[in-house]
Amino acid sequence: MIVDCHTHVRSLDGREISEHLAAAETVDACVVLATHNGSREEINRKLSEYVARHSEKMVGFGIVDPTEDRLNEKGLAALIEKLGLKGLVFYCSMCGFHPAHSHAMRLYEAVQEIGLPVFFHNGSHALRREAILEYAQPCLLDEVARAFPRMKIVIGNMGVPFVDQTLAMASKHENVFADLTIRPHNIWQTYNIVVAAHEQDVMDKLLFGSGFPLGDASECIETLLGFNMLLADTKLPTVPRGSIRNVVERDSLELLGIEHEQIKLQEHKPQTASPEMRDE
């Protein structure tokens, strides 16, 4: 099962919806992360409506700012049930709060009790000027992962530009995973990220992501499965193709404890493998 764990739809009113639907055809399921620009209540409502219309393919992660949204366990549970969302996304560097802020820690306690996975979209391949780079460091999540060992944590974008910290976190904590969203045209960066993950023996903690609309699932899959050809004329280390394929085909929903009957029903329907997924 191929799950794209990292997609966005910035505008739920225009052309990007049709482009997102087309990109989603490449995979069996995708996670749609709420954006951080605008009213969080409105963003979550529109996201909820969108994924509900495509529930056979999509799950939504809503946005919460723990420094402003004072939600206890009861309030959070009511919000999630009302909107039908399956997880939360945090933008610490863009929203300007430390991942282990006291208000955030209280929210994580409620999140853990409810059993929601969380996606930390703190690092990026293109952080904006106003982002607080310090809060993008994955090592700041160490306190969070230690305090809440049952809360599934995904570090978005491999924690770029702090990839080594991301790999250390994934290696140290059973409940921490990393979103392998790459930029296919950044060949050297992609190579170094995948080789470093392999050498640190955390390939089983990586989740496939495209970063739509900045990336396309089909192109990312093709790049990853052709990984050892990126620098074929060199004598640099390679990574077993089976390890990379396992990342692409990993059932991230199950790994994160997300139950979704409609997607599971679709999974058992006969499908024709895409060309890039067939054995060479």
Q: What is the pLDDT of residue 269?
A: 58
| 206-209 and 176-181 strand pairing | parallel
Between 165 and 227, the more confident residue is 165
**How many C-beta atoms surround the C-beta of residue 99 within 10 A?**
24
Residue 6's nearest CA partner among 34, 25, 37, 28 is 34
pLDDT digits (tens, 9 = 90+) for 190-222: 999 999 999 999 999 999 999 999 999 999 999
- Domain of residue 175 covers 3-277
pTM exceeds cut of 0.85:
yes
Report how far apart, in Å, the C-alpha atoms of 185 and of each of 190, 217, 219, 273 are: 9, 14, 10, 25
Region 228-239: what's the mean pLDDT? 87
> How many residues are there in the chain?
280
Per the structure, how many domains does the chain have? Answer: 1
Name 34's Cβ contacts closer than 8 Å, sequence gap at least 6: 40, 43, 44, 47, 60, 61, 62, 63, 89
> Is pLDDT above 50 for 76?
yes
What's 80's domain CATH number? Answer: 3.20.20.140
